[in-house]
Structures are given as C-alpha cells and as structure tokens.
Amino acid sequence: MKKSFSTSWKASKQIRKQRKFRANAPLGLKRQMIVSTLSKELRQKYNRRSFALRKGDKVLIMRGEFKKKAGKIDSVNIRKMKVIIEGIQMNKKDGTKTNVLFDPSNLKITELNIDDKKRIKAI
C-alpha cells in the first residue's frame, strides 16, 4: 500500500480509505481536522457550527467513560489528532495516573479561548 498522500482524493464510502487519508495527511491538513462542535449559545453568538480546538478552550465530553465531564484543554496532539483535557486521568494497574487522549469529535466546546483576536476575526 502506498504511504504517500494524494491531493486528488475526494471521498470514499470505504472506511479504510478514509482512515488512510487521515493518517497520511500533512500536518497542516491534520490541524484543520481537529475541530469540535460548539454549544448552542456559542453557535448563535458566532453563527458557526464548529471551531478548531486550541489549548485553553473549555470543553464538555459527550461520549465514552468520562461522558458529561467538563474541563480545559491542556494540549493538542496534531500528529495523533487527539486532545488532552486537564484533570481527566486514568489509573493504571501499578497505581500511576496517565492523561487520557480524546478524539475531537467526542467533545463539545462550551467556552472559547479568545486570547488570539485573529481566531474570532476569521468569522
């Protein structure tokens, strides 16, 4: 299987091709794929459905073991396309705690970090 990224690829029903597209995408495109939906209040305020996730955004977890828990984004891993949320950790068998990686599609933004004015100007 070719590992190179195809710019001519449009879409496919086959999940393996969708996964391959996401896995082999360049970092600039992967950054654009780390987006999450906005809460109802933010949707009305910004007239947008979703925003790219950034460090400092407050999010609500919508799916999984930590459903309905909220927290602030601690870091965004562009290569893995995952997000780490402050205060949400798992216990390992040896007793140590580790951060949990969340998929952006399972999160909802409740408060935006607007330190960077360009982020809001782009609307």
Q: What is the mean pLDDT of the chain?
A: 91
Q: Residue 117: is its pLDDT beyond 90?
A: no
Instruction: Tell me what the mean pLDDT of segment 4-25 comes to.
Output: 86
Which stretches of 4-121 are assigned E, i.e. beta strand?
35-38, 50-52, 58-61, 70-77, 82-91, 97-102, 107-111
Q: Give me the sheet containing 35-38, strands edge to edge.
A: 50-52, 35-38, 107-111, 58-61, 70-77, 82-91, 97-102
Q: Residue 1: is its pLDDT beyond 80?
A: no
| 98/3: higher pLDDT | 98
Cα 80 from Cα 50, distance rounded (Å): 20
pTM listed for this prediction: 0.86
Q: Which domains does the chain have, with CATH numbers?
A: 15-121 (2.30.30.30)
pLDDT for the residue numbered 3: 67
pLDDT for the residue numbered 123: 61
User: What does the pLDDT look like over 43-101, one tens digit per residue?
Assistant: 999 999 999 999 999 999 999 999 999 999 999 999 999 999 999 999 999 999 999 99
Query: What is the DSSP track for 70-86?
Result: EEEEEEEETTTTEEEEE
pLDDT for the residue numbered 42: 93
Region for residue 81 given its phi and psi (left: phi exceeds 0; alpha: psi -120 to 50; beta: otherwise):
left
